[in-house]
Structure 1
Amino acid sequence: MTDLPARSIRTPLRPADSCSLLNAEPLAGTASTEKLWVALEHPGGWGKDVLDGSVFGDELSAALSEKMKDAGARFLLIRKPGREGQIATDTPRKVFIAQAELNLLYEMTVEKPEDLLELSLNQPEFIPGIIVKNNPLALVCAHSKRDRCCAIVGRPIAGELAAEHPGDAWECSHTGGHRFAPVSIMLPSGYTYGRLTADNARAAFGAMREGEAPALDGLRGRSMYAAPEQAAEIAVRELLAEGGEFPLVSHLNVSRETQTATGSFSANLGSQIDQSTQDATLTYSRVTHLDGRRWLVSTRVQKLPEVYASCGKAPKAGKSVEVLEVRPI
């Protein structure tokens, strides 16, 4: 991988009740589950929710919300880091459409947000004027009205990445998990990171740009999977990394193995699993390598006594995904 230039990021001071300082919650399995992402460039301020009417007005917000719901897409606002992104303009703006399952990213320009309503988001390859973008994007949450942690610690990292990779790193609206701020999502793969530092942000984005294996430091999961599969993939990647093996993004595939009411597996794996482990509270995921190797990963939901969901708020009960076993099959 090409070495990225070293830069110095001053660590911002955070209030003592910042949620991202208080959480010890495990990262694996905490990424938002989304297969289609739509990111619209929109400089200036954002409301607490980008489609609550405060940014686009009630009518357009409702229409955009319905459009995204119909397409099964997650909608984000993005802006250039720094002062440039804070100045509202009516100029044409970038749109990025990411298909996480296909690891494909598309780019185009629209004159106004209303233009999104006319686009075939599920079939971006047929949109006139759209192009495939070969370089991935790093979107770093800087949504201060959602949670101050993202703005305080996310913006400097977004700015540094954008200085090194102009046009490929952006501030973005809430992606989920601001309690892990700074947080970032890499598109189109959907690999999501938390508790970023300057170094592991560069490493994660550098790996994506060079087509290498996703960096493991700070990895929360890949958005195309649900929480158990996210944790299963990370567990297998960590296991392989111990032996010096680092599969590329496309080299691992994860699928859920379901149990029937009698406890047997719907896939052809039941005979290879000890009956003593067939617990209805467990979830089993099959991770398959491109070369044919397979692993069965058992996980369960673990209750957490305290999770600080947002800055300044009292903790509440939470949950995380616990990996119990990674078994070759």
Structure 2
Amino acid sequence: MSRPAAFRCATAARDRHDDPAGTAARAHGWVLVEHPGPWPFGGFAELPLPGDVIGEVRQAALAAGLRILLIRRHGRRPRPPEFAWAVLRYDADGRHRQQWGSWSDPSGLRGIVAAIDRAGTVGLPPVYLVCTHGIHDACCAIRGRPVATALAAEWPDHTWECSHVGGDRYAGNLLVAPDGIYFGEVTATTAPAAVRQLRDGLVAADHLRGYCDLSAPAQYAVVVVLRRWGPAGRHAIQVTSARRDRDRWTVTLECAAPLPARVTAVVRSFAQPAARLTCLAPTETRGVAWETVSLTSH
């Protein structure tokens, strides 16, 4: 007698037609730590490193509004003598900043704390972070690794596998940092296409979960505008206001050509039917989704 197929949250989400728009995790930036061994479920906080080092880095990152991700190069490679760390900062004016360093023993990670207080370098190419955190959610590994393979084949110096970025059911998940662009439900075909378009200065609505600097209703409104009139540059749409009235938000957006100069989007949040939202979820819960009430250009 054959065993029933294992539950996979990303497959179930596609069957339900869950919309990933408006689901990007908010952050002012990221701390990246290359780690040679297996990633624990809880990521950086659970690494086998001295507690004082972990505590100092976590405290500094939290104070600056930065999320910590573990990273590794894709595929089998010789163990390097040193490992990378980075502080990537999103900047609303588009002058995103990066600072890279290395560590070979745990004390070297204290360089991250000092780097958080420094300005960093402007103009470096973005990095492509693909969630492959399989111990956190099997879908992240199953769907993320082919994406990492495809991106590493074209941009090996800029592609990293990374730990949990949120939204397991939208795997494969791709974070472009420090630009703060989250893509979900990407594949080995669609992820390189999205990156190529982004390298040409455009963001398309396809697979876009949202931008790191925006609230969920504002993220969803941006995706709606791009679905209607896009693609457009990362900073071509500015959210000037977002007003709530119970379950509805009125979001006003100022846009650069060729988009309409001004758009008003009225969006509504609603609770989805109860479902298992991750592969390891012990019970069903009700996720929050968004829909468009009206979209008006001015």
TM over 0.5: yes
The aligned amino acid for 1:297 is: A
CA RMSD of aligned residues (A): 2.1
**Equivalent residue number for residue 26 of structure 2:** 33
Deviations 1:288-309 (A, max 9, x none): 1135811111112111013322
Distance 2:197 2:48 in 1: 34
**Equivalent residue number for residue 292 of structure 2:** 323
**Equivalent residue number for residue 234 of structure 2:** 249
Distance 2:246 2:12 in 1: 33
User: Helix, strand or coil: the match of 1:237?
Assistant: helix
Distance 2:49 2:21 in 1: 35
**Equivalent residue number for residue 220 of structure 2:** 231
1:187 is aligned to 2:177: yes
Q: Shift of the alpha carbon at 1:143?
A: 0.9
Q: Shift of the alpha carbon at 1:132?
A: 3.4
Distance 1:297 1:56 in 2: 47
Identity %: 28
Distance 1:327 1:55 in 2: 53
User: Helix, strand or coil: the match of 2:286?
Assistant: strand
Distance 1:64 1:92, change over 3 A: same
Distance 1:174 1:185, change over 3 A: same
Contact 1:157-1:198 within 8 A present in 2 as well: yes
Contact 1:203-1:215 within 8 A present in 2 as well: no
**Equivalent residue number for residue 91 of structure 1:** 82
Compare CA radii of gyration and give the structure with the larger one. Answer: 1
**Equivalent residue number for residue 45 of structure 2:** 52
Question: Of 98, 120, 124, which residue of structure 2 is paired with 1:134?
Answer: 124
Distance 1:42 1:132 in 2: 25
Distance 1:236 1:144 in 2: 34
Distance 1:76 1:160, change over 3 A: same
User: Helix, strand or coil: the match of 1:27?
Assistant: coil
Question: Of 239, 251, 268, which residue of structure 2 is paired with 1:285?
Answer: 251
Q: Which runs of 4+ in 1 moved over 6 A?
A: none
Distance 1:231 1:109, change over 3 A: same
> Number of paired residues?
283
Question: Of 161, 166, 188, which residue of structure 2 is paired with 1:198?
Answer: 188
Deviations 1:55-91 (A, max 9, x none): 434322222211111111111111101122xx76651
Contact 1:100-1:224 within 8 A present in 2 as well: no
**Equivalent residue number for residue 210 of structure 2:** 221
**Equivalent residue number for residue 63 of structure 1:** 56
Distance 1:109 1:151 in 2: 27
Contact 1:105-1:136 within 8 A present in 2 as well: no
1:108 is aligned to 2:100: yes
The aligned amino acid for 2:286 is: A
Distance 1:308 1:102, change over 3 A: farther
Q: Shift of the alpha carbon at 1:92?
A: 4.2
Distance 1:215 1:29, change over 3 A: same
Distance 1:67 1:90, change over 3 A: farther
Alignment of 1:66-77 (within 5 A): 66-77=59-70
Contact 2:146-2:187 within 8 A present in 1 as well: no
User: Helix, strand or coil: the match of 1:258?
Assistant: strand
Unpaired segments ≥5 residues, structure 1: 1-14, 126-130, 260-278
Distance 1:133 1:77, change over 3 A: farther
1:178 is aligned to 2:168: yes
User: Helix, strand or coil: the match of 1:299?
Assistant: strand
**Equivalent residue number for residue 151 of structure 1:** 141
Q: Shift of the alpha carbon at 1:184?
A: 0.7
Distance 1:117 1:105, change over 3 A: closer
Distance 1:124 1:118 in 2: 10
Contact 2:44-2:69 within 8 A present in 1 as well: no
**Equivalent residue number for residue 294 of structure 1:** 262
Unpaired segments ≥5 residues, structure 2: none
Distance 2:275 2:238 in 1: 31
